[in-house]
Every structure is written in C-alpha cells, then in structure tokens.
Amino acid sequence: MSEDVTARGGGERKSGFWARAVDLYVDGFRSMTLGKTLWLIIAIKLFIFFVIIKILFFPNFLSSKSDTEQGKAQYVREQLIGESESVFRGE
C-alpha cells in the first residue's frame, strides 16, 4: 500500500488531524480541473468586492475633515454627542 502512495507522489502520510485535513484539501485541489477555474473566478470576485468597491463607494471621509488623529477623534465625538442629544430631546 505504501508503494501506491509514493507512486502517486503523496510521499509518506502524516498522522496528525490538521496535517491529514490539509493533505485532503491539497490532494483534492490538485486533482481538480474545472474547480481551479471556478476558484479563480471566486478569487477575482472577492478582489472586486473588497478592494474595488471599497475604493469607489467608501472614500476616506475623515481625512477630509481633519489632518490629525486628534481632529478626526474630535469630529467623531462631536457627531456622536450631537446625535445622542437630539435623541434625548425627541428630535
């Protein structure tokens, strides 16, 4: 049996749970054909979602309000306190 494993390029099998789990995924990914293309498409989509869309729709708003960290913190504090006061006044 060990000759079959070495002939496939697997080498000696590891006995730890995590090592076997990683080996299972690596071996499965190695034997995929269509799956590699699908994983590439998924990776490209995730890149678009998290990088491109963040840049387009979530600009760095606080940088336009102040250049220093203290100024940014002060702006956030004023906005939070102003919102909480309007809630208590019933506005």
Averaged pLDDT, 59-85: 83
pTM: 0.43
d(CA 27, CA 4): 15
* CB of 45 closer than 8 Å to CB of 51: no
**Closest C-alpha to 76, from 63, 88, 86, 87:** 63
Report pLDDT for 87: 59
Encoded tokens for 75: 């702006």
Q: What is the pLDDT of residues 16-69, one digit of tens each?
A: 999 999 999 888 888 888 888 898 999 999 999 888 888 888 777 778 888 899
* CB of 29 closer than 8 Å to CB of 36: yes
pLDDT above 60 (res 2): no
